[in-house]
A and B are shown apart, each in its own frame.
Chain A
Amino acid sequence: MTSNNGPFLSVKDLVVEYTAEGQVIHAVNGISFELERGRTFGLVGETGAGKTSTAKAILRILPDPPAKIRGGKIYLDGEDLLKISEKEMRRIRGRKVSMIFQDPMTALNPIMKVGEQIAEVIKLHNDITWREANERAVKMLELVGIPGDRCGEYPHQFSGGMKQRVIIAMALACSPELLLADEPTTALDVTIQAQVLEMIAKLKKDFNTSMIMISHNLGVVAEVCDDLAVIYAGEIIESGSKEAIFDHPTHPYTVGLFKAVPHLDDETDRLSPISGLPPDPSNLPAGCHFNPRCPLVTEQCRSEKIALREIEPGHFCRCIRVKELEGEYVRVG
């Protein structure tokens, strides 16, 4: 494989659109970010912000139609994933890049034994016999804390937490260099979530895997990510190190998000919700997409396209009022 001095993964100006009933839905509108080896990058945002579309674009598994990658570049190890053939892409999927899907209930094939489902990936990417693939599948199951003798069982015989672990075993079966985790614990109970996060962290360390963690849960992001980006209406509105964002959330949306979720360790009796609703992605507001909900909106926000600017080293924010905002908000965390 090619190696170069650039970042391990670099996404540049990615644009994804869906076409439905003659309407164009702008799911991802020019997202750019970079990820170094062994690091974890968080994508935070609400439903429909474009998090999952971004991850699926990297793997090129967006359903086409209705989805289309309209622009941008995705470099993995210096190779442009949007330029290579489908055949080459298939070699990368599951081996170099793999994904943990959100819903453990639907991501597994219900009429295939779990061991076989894991062995399938291993067999596909390695020049080995089925027997060897099955043996490795059993090892993978044990690695994620499921007794190997359950490899002959079907998904319905497992609980939600165990199914999610099977999916993780499958995603890690070929020791991928990049793991895309799409809300891997959202469907799980908290005690199981804690187990799964702990396991992902350990496996990530053992294999030095890079990871993109997609989540709407700020607590999960705080625990696993090194850097993160907050996405709103298909755009990154704030990005930086975890410390930068949690200690100095700056964009009014990020600040609003922090105030809108209850925290276990503070004593407030009332939340401050963000007013209004997320925008309709087929009809995004002009200017800053957040302007109709923003408490600090000005005329300029409604008309001008706002650029992502560096407000302190490595900390970017897409807001023109950022200078005035300094000191206006209480720190969170």
Chain B
Amino acid sequence: MSALVEVKNLKKYFETPRGMLHAVDDVSFSIEKSKTMGVVGESGCGKSTLGRVIIHLLDSTDGSIYFEGEDITRVNSQKLRKLRDNMKIIFQDPFSSLNPRMTVEQTIMEPLTISGRYTRKERQEEAERLMAMVGIDHRLRLSYPHELDGGRRQRVGIGRALALNPKFIVCDEPVSALDVSISAQVLNLLQDLQDKFGLTYMFVTHDLSVVRLISDDICVMYLGQLVETCPSKELFKKPLHPYTQALISAVPSTDIHHKKERILLEGEITSPIHPKPGCRFAKRCIHECKACHEPQQLEEVLPNHLVSCCRVREINSF
């Protein structure tokens, strides 16, 4: 198996008036070709920043990023342009991520125009093909975003991302602004496109049931750090990190006959500015002890199941 995208010890810090904000702190993982890596966590855990750093919408502070085995951490603008053909993003908010003054066709054609490799006619044909692919009616090609509903706008965003046939797409909460019946349509579309073109996704979301459905592997993040990563099925059967356990138990269940046992967390996510060394979840963790305030290692506890918790064996009794 070959990893399409790999990050090693990736860090992204932001300077703020109150000090250094550790948005992504020492994160390492890899995404296999044609697979979906789900990244979950609550607001402010750095999951969106992580996606943006990987595709160079933001510069990394430290660490390295590999694409098809090649180190792309520091690249010049010419090289970056080439890379961008292969790495795209679908944004969360289909209302603000489209230019209100551009028609559907113009929006989808824009990457083709910028690439400079297509004639006008080719661009139009390609846009038509893309629109058909993402399920936008041909008669809407001259519509503006404000004339479309959220689901269609998101389809336009997907069409734009697919122009130039990328290999890797970061999906940053692509369905969280959509209604349930529409969100199912968009999720199915993303799955179909992956099957058809062998796309590799990094799917960033706070919605655990969506991530379970769409991902092959999952990374759970807390305050900029990776706390647990393993295959999707395993995560929901056997969550090992206390934060993952609490997170999964917090999702309201539609099973009305079996009341779920819930781990209620105290307090809220603390500030990622100048975090103290050690496990950042320790303050809210029921298993907190002295060793938790030492730096934690991401450790392969079970095959392909990595957890960053010094008490993981003890807690899960093995």
Interface residues of chain A, those whose CB is within 8 Å of chain B, are 46-47, 159-162, 189-195, 197-198, 216-220, 222-223, 242-243, 246-247, 256-258, 260-265, 268-275, 277-278, 332-333
Contacts and interface: CB of A to CB of B under 8 A. Distances in A.
B256 A246 contact: yes
Contacts of A246: 254, 256
A222 B256 contact: yes
Contacts of A271: 184, 187-188, 213
A27 B269 CA distance: 39
The number of chain B residues touching the other chain, given as a range, is 35 or more
A263 B247 CA distance: 15
Contact of A194 (B179, B187, B264, B269): B264
B179 A278 contact: yes
B180 A219 contact: no
A192 B256 contact: no
A269 B264 CA distance: 29
Nearest to A280: B149
A194 B255 contact: no
A190 B209 contact: no
B268 A262 contact: no
A254 to B, nearest CB: 12
A149 B292 CA distance: 30
A194 B210 CA distance: 18
Contacts of A268: 213
Contact of A273 (B42, B184, B206): B184
Contacts, number: 118
A253 B151 CA distance: 18
Interface of B: 42-43, 149, 151, 179-185, 187-188, 191, 206, 208-210, 212-213, 236, 246-257, 262, 264-265, 268-269
Contacts of B254: 218-219, 222, 246, 258, 261, 263, 332-333
Contacts of A247: 256
Given A262-B213, A264-B236, A271-B213, A257 B256 contact: no
A272 B264 contact: no
Contact of A262 (B43, B210, B269): B210
Given A190-B247, A269-B213, A272-B184, A216 B179 contact: yes
20 contacts: A189-B43, A192-B42, A194-B250, A194-B262, A194-B265, A195-B265, A217-B252, A219-B251, A219-B252, A260-B181, A262-B187, A262-B209, A262-B210, A262-B212, A263-B254, A264-B209, A264-B248, A271-B187, A278-B179, A333-B256
